[in-house]
Chains A and B, each alone.
Chain A
Amino acid sequence: MDARLGFSVVKTFTSEPDEAPVVRLRNFSRRFGPNVIIDGLDLDIAPGEFVALLGRSGSGKTTLLRTLAGLDEVSGQDVTVPGSRAVVFQDARLLPWKLVWKNVGLGLKGDALRERSEKALHEVGLGHRLDAWPLTLSGGEAQRVALARALVREPELLLLDEPFAALDALTRYRMHDLVLALWRVHRPAVLMVTHDVEEAIALADRILVLDGGRIVAEERIGVERGQRGGLSARLREKLLSHLGGDHGEDVVSLVQAAE
């Protein structure tokens, strides 16, 4: 079990070399004017892999997510992303003038839209809110609708942009369970951007730490989800030290003091 905890600051490795990754970035850079946001980044995500991306604000994690979501134009770069992607944003971003089920089916082609939306909403436990207006939903409900809206598209790549950051602790834990359950059923590759180390440890197969536009640490977790309590403390400490930057010592000592 301990071997897994050894830090491997590795540039790249695919989780299963024989399986073609769904996401593949090579020497990816992104700059706005003189500011280099992402600097020579290599990244592979295998099909069905759950990757958490940790980073401070300004570390480039949102830029990376926007690139993978196809929201930023990338030209002349070695970027491969699957055609079917879906994003869940930190704020649910539902259209307030469309009923919940129409939000879920937004932009979908084909017939039986309502049935498909209904099925997705049932999966997130909101079958009864089909005909509600988004602004009447609680934060947790809105975020579950956003999840349904992403899943109804059967994405190969699901991008989660700090999706639980605005939720209260209890709702957040419920959402963790829900996301894992849905992930097990649908098996999309997941890239979850977060600044919450606990969340990353609880959910991901692999954790990346992004700092200054580079991946500074990479950690693969083989322990079953639900049995990760034991490795939390040590792993968290390591991840935090990479995350901390200037304030690293403070953060780590606080964590140690708490234990």
Chain B
Amino acid sequence: MTALSISAQKAGQTARKPFSLSAFGGRWLSPVLLLLLWELGSRVGVIPERTLAAPSAVMGALFEMIISGELPSNLLVSFGRVAVGLFIGVGLGTILGLVSGLSRSGELIVDPLMQIKRTIPALALTPLFIVWFGIGETPKIALIAFGTIFPVYLNLFSGIRSVDPRLLEAARSFGLSRAEQIWHVVLPAAFPALLVGLRYALSVSILVLVVAEQINASAGLGYLINNARDFMRTDIIVVCLMVYAILGLLADWGVRAIERRALVWRPSIVEQ
């Protein structure tokens, strides 16, 4: 009897359909609302244009810059800096991680240096790099490379060291040589960690790019922003911020794509 009455009560409750945010766009609701308020504020005059351009003005500036070729050409310059810097940084990080992870003496030599390096924020080296490399492309690329070595190194190192010893033992019991053990067991096991390091490195590289491009750049996103600041073009500044955000998203998406392909053996990905 009581069970019946309870279920009847419950049925009555669900029939009333409680208020649900998901019916109004779910997670999109608040960002869209913010954009609308921003636009409204600009139209009414609460937000002056020299403080922050309206979303519609930003979109206008974006299209204008794409059509004039100003954005693509400068984006390409910035992209090139990140690509070269990452290539050097990730490459060095990988090599040092392998040396340090795979051999005890390698660890003794490399790891202390890397730990010292870790305590120095990459951006703090900007003045020194300017003194050394001048104000051209070199200090920008060097800063990105310097900043991205460590996340790759640290993750690869710990990935190699946390290989399941039972798997290594099994490989050994089947007569695999040391080199074969590294190739078949250690490196595949450490690969997911390397990808995590790569992901960190990508976000670091964009962060460093923003600062590095403030160094007397004559092209690139940073140059665009500096110019826009001088002319108080907040719309262009916001466009560049958006591009930075999109770069970050793309980088993350790229690594995820690699993960999907390279880590198909993982059950969470297998199930999909």
A-binding segment of B20-28, B59-67, B137-145, B168-176: B168-176
Give the complex CA separation of A86 and B270 in angstroms: 30
Q: Smallest Cβ distance from B176 to chain A, in angstroms?
A: 4
- Residues of A contacting B170 with CB < 8 Å? 87, 89, 93
Q: How large is the interface on A (under 10, 10 to 19, 20 to 34, 35 or more residues)?
A: 20 to 34
Contact of B270 among A71, A91, A136, A149 (CB under 8 A): A136
Instruction: Report the nearest B residue to A134, measured CB to CB.
Output: B265
A106 touches B270 (CB 8 A): no
Kindly name the residue among B170, B176, B263 whose own CB sees the greatest number of chain A CB atoms within 10 A. B170
- Residues of A contacting B267 with CB < 8 Å? 133, 135-136
Q: Smallest Cβ distance from A180 to chain B, in angstroms?
A: 23
Q: Which of B177-227 contact A (CB under 8 A)?
A: 180, 184-185, 188-189, 191
- Residues of B contacting A93 with CB < 8 Å? 166-167, 169-170
Chain B interface mostly: helix
- Residues of B contacting A87 with CB < 8 Å? 170, 173-174
- Residues of A contacting B173 with CB < 8 Å? 69-71, 85-87
Give the complex CA separation of A153 and B266 in angstroms: 28
Is A230 an interface position by the 8 A CB rule?
no
- Residues of B contacting A86 with CB < 8 Å? 173-174
Give the complex CA separation of A69 and B175 in angstroms: 10
B184 touches A95 (CB 8 A): yes
Q: How large is the interface on B (under 10, 10 to 19, 20 to 34, 35 or more residues)?
A: 20 to 34
Q: Which of A74-115 contact B (CB under 8 A)?
A: 85-87, 89, 91, 93, 95-98, 106-107
A106 touches B169 (CB 8 A): no
Q: Smallest Cβ distance from A221 to chain B, in angstroms?
A: 28
Is B264 an interface position by the 8 A CB rule?
yes
- Residues of A contacting B172 with CB < 8 Å? 71
Contact of A107 among B171, B189, B265 (CB under 8 A): B171
A89 touches B270 (CB 8 A): no
- Residues of A contacting B169 with CB < 8 Å? 71, 93
- Residues of A contacting B167 with CB < 8 Å? 93, 95
Give the complex CA separation of A134 and B265 in angstroms: 8
- With contacts A69-B173, A71-B172, A86-B173 taken as known, whether A98 is within 8 angstroms of B184 at the C-beta atoms is yes
Q: Which of B220-272 contact A (CB under 8 A)?
A: 263-267, 270
Instruction: Report the nearest B residue to A89, measured CB to CB.
Output: B170
A133 touches B264 (CB 8 A): yes
Give the complex CA separation of A71 and B170 in angstroms: 9
Kindly name the residue among B173, B188, B270 whose own CB sees the greatest number of chain A CB atoms within 10 A. B173
Give the complex CA separation of A63 and B166 in angstroms: 15
Q: Smallest Cβ distance from A156 to chain B, in angstroms?
A: 13
Q: Smallest Cβ distance from B33 to chain A, in angstroms?
A: 43
A153 touches B174 (CB 8 A): yes
A89 touches B265 (CB 8 A): no
Q: Which of B136-174 contact A (CB under 8 A)?
A: 166-167, 169-174
Fill in one digit per residue for A124-149: 1 if any B CB lies within 8 Å of its CB, else 0. 00000000011110000000000001
A97 touches B171 (CB 8 A): no
B265 touches A106 (CB 8 A): no
Where the two chains meet, the residues of B that have a C-beta atom closer than 8 Å to any C-beta of A are 166-167, 169-176, 180, 184-185, 188-189, 191, 263-267, 270
Where the two chains meet, the residues of A that have a C-beta atom closer than 8 Å to any C-beta of B are 69-71, 85-87, 89, 91, 93, 95-98, 106-107, 133-136, 149, 153
12 contacts across the A-B interface (CB closer than 8 A): A87-B170, A87-B173, A95-B167, A95-B171, A96-B266, A97-B188, A98-B265, A106-B174, A107-B171, A107-B180, A133-B264, A136-B270
6 nearest interchain CB pairs? A93-B170, A97-B188, A107-B176, A87-B173, A135-B267, A133-B265
